Structure 1
Amino acid sequence: MKHSAKVLIVLLAFSLVLFGCGSNRSSSPASPSQSQGGQSSAPSASASSEAQEEEIVFPEPGKPFYLTTNYGPGGTLQRSQQDFQPFFEKELGTQVIIEYIEGAGGLIGYNTVFARPADGYSILPNSATFGPYTYPHLSEEKPPWKYEDWLPLGIYSDIPNSGIVVKKDSPFKNFADLVRYARENPNKLKLGTIGPGRIEDIQIIELQHVMGIRVRQIYYEDGGSLFTDLLTGDLDAIVTAALQYVDSPDARILVMLAPEFPPEFPYPELDNLSKFPEELGFSMDQIKTLAATHFNGFVVKAGTPEPIYRKLVQTLENIVKNPEWQQKVKDYRYPKWIPPEEAKKLYDRYYEGIGEMVKLRDQYLQQQ
């Protein structure tokens, strides 16, 4: 294990602060140096020429780093964390511990890390189905933190995955057929998903809003019963993680809920939403959650000192660009580095779109 990385931070002390004057306030909610209340933790550089250099060691010798997992052991998330573990240890030069803090659909893990100091020693996974942008809108128990209380470290895997799936012999030959039927027959189309409270639930609301349709939205507790009812004809279509059915003998993917396919997408023959705006009379600019890809990333608590935050971002980038890590995860992840600045734009749009659709959800359900 290599020596702990040392990060230098220069803290400027001002005579104005010493005499009781207020410090400047940052307007960006994503600033790593920002405190929870929005107050900048770094003083203005224009007030004084006096400077004090303080050396920050991160990680400190003998202090472990935590890959906090907000779901219990088992499944793809655990596997992902285990595959990350040795690479984080090599990059950071310290012990990396995977801890499991489950409950409330992953919210308890976020709440626990939020209660800890913003020192960069605990990071959390996020994905298209859970994260700081979903919990404030979708959790039954509202979190004790805000969306702005978390900072993205970057996205490490990204691929279109959500889609609409129908039976092999469905009369709907493509997405346009389904939308036209729903427009002509309000509340007749039986559309199922796992929920309520998951992102697929919100995607069905946005589908109705953007396409000008009303459907019978039916919730299921698990994917097995959801798919069974599709095959028995109790459902006309389902919104789900669609790629698992790409080779199914009993079902087919009607459309991928994606704005476009990246060059590395393994099934370019499938339809995506970009094929239908002119035919169905909608704009891709209207879509915020419906075309969300299946991304995976990490976040850290806001207020983490900026040099430590930048160290974590660089660490994650180094791992994602490491061919050895890419080879290790290629059968269940789609390695792609998206830096935190771009990730934040995606999360902002996601957070805004979910909030808008939640306001419509109860209204639509009452109209069924």
Structure 2
Amino acid sequence: MAEPALPTEALGLVVHAAGDVRLETVPVRPPGPDEALVEVAYGGICGSDLHYWRHGAAGASILREPLLLGHEVVGRVRTAAADGSGPPAGTPVAVHPARPDAGDGSVPYPLDRPNLSPAGTYLGSAAHLPHTQGGFVRHLALPTRMLRVLPAGLPLRTAALVEPASVAWHAVGRAGDVRGRRVLVVGAGPIGALVVAVAVRAGASEVVVVDLHEEPLERVRGLGASRTLLATDTEALAGVHADVSVESSGSPAGLATAVEATARGGRVVMVGLLPPGPQPVPVATAIARELELVGSFRFNDEIDAVIAALADGSLPVDRVVTHEYAVADALTALATALDPVASGKVLLRFAD
């Protein structure tokens, strides 16, 4: 019996310019010898997807050509790689969106931290030209090295959180050992919520969360947050004295809050994506308290630990997902994800 023909086109979500995102038919690239064709089941909408749509840029990555959005994707292998590498057809997989690349070697970086490789690419990113096209499409050819086999019993809907949970896991790792320590999380959006879950699992004695709105704070209480505060409660924030703060709001005000609420000798982890250029930060406070300000960018092999923790139930994160839309309703999904009061993580469903 002949193998079914590979699809040549599929519906995808493409941003053309700031404010111009379209659901349109895009060509499906035939897989190379070391690539599998993945049928995408779910894609999670990330803040960077929203930034490309609303502003034509995500941080320092400027949109210069049409970009297929999406990097938080899971699905099943439709066609296995011709060279025999990777999982067989039918296998459920998560996608590690990064492809490390040292470039011409002129820019040094620590080799044990491939997320910092200067020419590295990421699905759905405008960091380089041509852009690295994303995964918000039903059929996607990917190198097998980017695929992670999902354990039996782990629902694909839950596994859709693998990528953002890995970002959160990496951020908590950048904080150091949080066992028995007080952790402040600034911003209760999807990444902040996942940081809460990871910090609780890692043994933090107390996890305090601050946000501008009550609704996202209500959501993180179910993830193990010990205490929640509104950002307007400056008196309570001044008394937090966190050993470690994780800034996940991606705003200058959020970073200032993290600095002001961190105890002397503490550490501030910056995972939220701030705009490019100089930012107003209370540096004098950071100096006087000998705070350590450290960046947190994407992740490396943490994805494997995240998959294991999701599978064994030690990282319960299902409540982070608040909405699910069929891909045909992708524009509505984007609008929903743009409202942090109404939504946490919003998923696109590509396959039934």
Per the normalisation by structure 1, the TM-score is 0.27
Q: Which structure has more strand as a fraction of its residues?
A: 2
Structure having the higher Rg: 1
Higher relative contact order (CA 8 A, sep 6+): 1
Per the normalisation by structure 2, the TM-score is 0.28
Q: Which structure has more helix as a fraction of its residues?
A: 1
